[in-house]
């Protein structure tokens, strides 16, 4: 049966005793008399995640027990084939969700995220592709009931966007969106080409965790250059008539952030500072990781040969992740924000090195 096969492929081992032990240690810390004078938000989030995971595991164990009962009834001659199929389908979905949650065990996976999208080689084509990716991620966030805030958007010349920065606020947003870091490649018949030729476009995606006050990032005033400017708009009532937009340059690292989403300069400054703290945190973490990895995927050139994923709309339709080898034929579903299969395959590959499966089609250059 297809569902049974999917169930076997889920392949995760959920270590309930270890999680119960971890939860017990956290409960000891939370029960300490001085804990609530300065509560650790990170610890409370870990406790919540462990409690939810253990509850999920208990539900899965109950479902497996129910399936055992149904199989026993079937062996005794009862006609329960429909119920067995239904229960296997539901259990397969539950297991995959639970496996995804279990794989999100990184230090910052539980945090909200900041995404930046830049078009690469291809001019207007790539700027339009960058806007398509923005739409895909906004729809993905909507599916997950995450809130989003676009803090900076630079319109393209004629179509698309030159760059965009936005927040995705929700538990595990950063861990899930880690699958998107890198160069995304689009192959399609260009809507901007009068001769209807096939074009290849690129855009890069960067993802950073939103950092709370528990993580200390020192930003000295003398290391900052802060500029204000008049925010761009589409004309009419949207034109900002005051210098409310804020651009910050961190001089030691040359990291630049800007925000023009709010009418208030004070609010834009606060949001830009939040982005800068996230960027500096990732900058420091990258320095620690540099000995472990020679090439950081998010730093690759935005061009041929560096893509993590290809989206082919012509001459056939296929999305293929070049890391996990997973191919998805329903292109429209993915571009409308259903990234679950791609995200799950990447999380499994990241943790275990297990390849999801190779698509048969060869991607055109």
Residue 312: name the closest of 222, 185, 138 by CA.
Answer: 185
**204 and 311 housed in the same domain:** yes
- How much is the pLDDT for 341? 92
**171 and 313 housed in the same domain:** yes
Looking at residues 340-364, what average pLDDT do you find? 74
Residue 94: name the closest of 67, 127, 125 by CA.
Answer: 67
Lowest model confidence (mean pLDDT) among 150-159, 160-169, 285-294: 285-294
Q: How many CA atoms lie within 13 A of 79 on its CB side?
A: 0
**94 and 13 housed in the same domain:** yes
**Alpha carbon distances (Å) from 363 to 200, 215, 224, 298, 324:** 12, 43, 45, 22, 15
E-strand ranges in 7-137 read: 113-119
pLDDT band for 158, please (50, 70, 90 cuts).
confident
Give the phi and the psi of residue 250 in degrees, each rounded to 5: -85, 105
Domain C-terminal end among 257, 289, 321: 289
**242 and 132 housed in the same domain:** no
Is residue 359 in a domain? no
**158 and 203 housed in the same domain:** yes
**140 and 257 housed in the same domain:** no
Q: How many domains is the chain built from?
A: 3
- How much is the pLDDT for 347? 92
Looking at residues 313-325, what average pLDDT do you find? 94
Strand partners of residue 187: 200, 312
Domain C-terminal end among 103, 127, 154: 103
- How much is the pLDDT for 309? 97
Looking at residues 4-26, what average pLDDT do you find? 65
Burial letters for 298-325: b for 16+ Cβ neighbours within 10 Å, e otherwise? beeebeeebbbbbbbbeeeebbbbebbe
362: tokens are 């060869």
Domain C-terminal end among 69, 103, 137: 103
**174 and 313 housed in the same domain:** yes
Lowest model confidence (mean pLDDT) among 87-91, 170-174, 283-287: 283-287
Is residue 313 in a domain? yes
What is the CATH classification number for the domain harbouring 199?
3.30.70.1660
- How much is the pLDDT for 317? 96
Give residue for tokens 């993580």: 215
**48 and 188 housed in the same domain:** no
pLDDT digits (tens, 9 = 90+) for 89-148: 888 877 877 777 778 878 788 889 999 999 997 789 999 999 999 999 999 999 999 999
- How much is the pLDDT for 357? 59
- How much is the pLDDT for 244? 84
| Mean pLDDT (the chain, rounded) | 83
**8 and 82 housed in the same domain:** yes
Helix, strand or coil, per DSSP, at residue 144: coil
pLDDT digits (tens, 9 = 90+) for 216-244: 788 899 999 999 988 765 544 444 556 78
Residue 242 or 53, more confident: 53
- How much is the pLDDT for 148? 96
Residue 214: name the closest of 14, 44, 1, 358 by CA.
Answer: 44
Q: What does the DSSP assignment read for 238-277?
A: GS--S--EEEEEETTTTEEEEE-SSS-HHHHHHHHHHHHH
The alpha helices in 144-264, defined as continuous H runs, are 173-177
Is residue 215 in a domain? no
What is the CATH classification number for the domain harbouring 97?
1.20.58
pLDDT band for 364, please (50, 70, 90 cuts).
very low
Q: Is the pLDDT of residue 195 over 50?
A: yes
Is residue 167 in a domain? yes
Q: Kindly report the CA angle at 205 between 202 and 211, in degrees rounded to 5?
A: 170
Q: Is the pLDDT of residue 325 over 60?
A: yes
**156 and 263 housed in the same domain:** no
**122 and 97 housed in the same domain:** no
What is the CATH classification number for the domain harbouring 285?
3.30.160.20
- Residue 182: give the domain boundaries: 113-209+300-352
- How much is the pLDDT for 362? 42
Is residue 294 in a domain? no
- How much is the pLDDT for 104? 85
Q: Is the pLDDT of residue 299 over 60?
A: no
Q: Number of helices (H) and strands (E), helices first, in the chain?
A: 9, 11
- How much is the pLDDT for 235? 47
Measured between alpha carbons, how far is 280 from 303 in angstroms, rounded to an integer?
A: 26
Measured between alpha carbons, how far is 97 from 79 in angstroms, rounded to an integer?
A: 30
Q: Is the pLDDT of residue 361 over 60?
A: no
- 0.85 exceeded by pTM: no
- How much is the pLDDT for 224? 93
Region label for 236, one of left (φ > 0), alpha (ψ between -120 and 50) or beta (otherwise): left
**76 and 134 housed in the same domain:** no
């Amino acid at each position: 049966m297809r569902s049974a096969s999917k169930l076997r492929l889920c392949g995760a081992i959920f270590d309930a005793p270890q999680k119960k032990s971890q939860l017990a240690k956290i409960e000891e810390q939370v029960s300490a008399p001085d804990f609530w004078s300065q509560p650790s938000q990170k610890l409370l989030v870990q406790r919540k995640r462990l409690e939810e995971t253990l509850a999920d595991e208990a539900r899965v164990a109950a479902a497996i027990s129910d399936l055992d009962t149904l199989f026993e009834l079937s062996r005794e001659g009862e006609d329960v084939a429909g119920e067995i199929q239904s229960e296997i389908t539901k259990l397969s979905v539950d297991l995959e969700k639970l496996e995804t949650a279990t794989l999100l065990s990184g230090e910052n996976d539980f945090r909200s995220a900041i995404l930046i999208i830049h078009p690469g080689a291809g001019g207007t084509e790539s700027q339009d592709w960058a806007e398509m990716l923005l739409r895909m991620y906004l729809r993905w966030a909507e599916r997950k009931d995450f809130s989003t805030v676009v803090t900076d958007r630079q319109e393209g010349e004629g179509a698309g966007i030159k760059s965009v920065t936005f927040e995705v606020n929700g538990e595990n947003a950063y861990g899930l969106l880690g699958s998107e870091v890198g160069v995304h490649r689009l192959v399609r018949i260009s809507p901007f080409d009068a001769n209807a030729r096939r074009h290849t476009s690129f855009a890069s995606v960067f993802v950073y965790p939103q950092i709370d006050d528990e993580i200390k990032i020192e930003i000295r005033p003398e290391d900052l250059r802060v500029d204000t400017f008049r925010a761009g708009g589409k004309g009419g009532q949207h034109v900002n008539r005051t210098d409310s937009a804020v651009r910050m340059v961190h001089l030691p690292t040359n990291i630049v952030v800007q925000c023009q989403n709010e009418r208030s300069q004070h609010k834009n400054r606060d949001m830009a500072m939040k982005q800068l703290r996230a960027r500096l945190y990732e900058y420091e973490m990258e320095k620690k990781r540099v000995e472990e990895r020679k090439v950081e995927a998010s730093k690759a050139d935005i061009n041929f040969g560096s893509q993590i994923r290809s989206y082919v709309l012509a001459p056939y339709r296929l999305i293929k992740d070049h890391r996990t080898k997973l191919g998805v034929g329903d292109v429209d579903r993915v571009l409308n924000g259903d990234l679950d299969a791609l995200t799950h395959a990447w999380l499994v590959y990241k943790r275990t090195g297990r390849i999801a499966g190779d698509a048969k089609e060869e991607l055109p250059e």
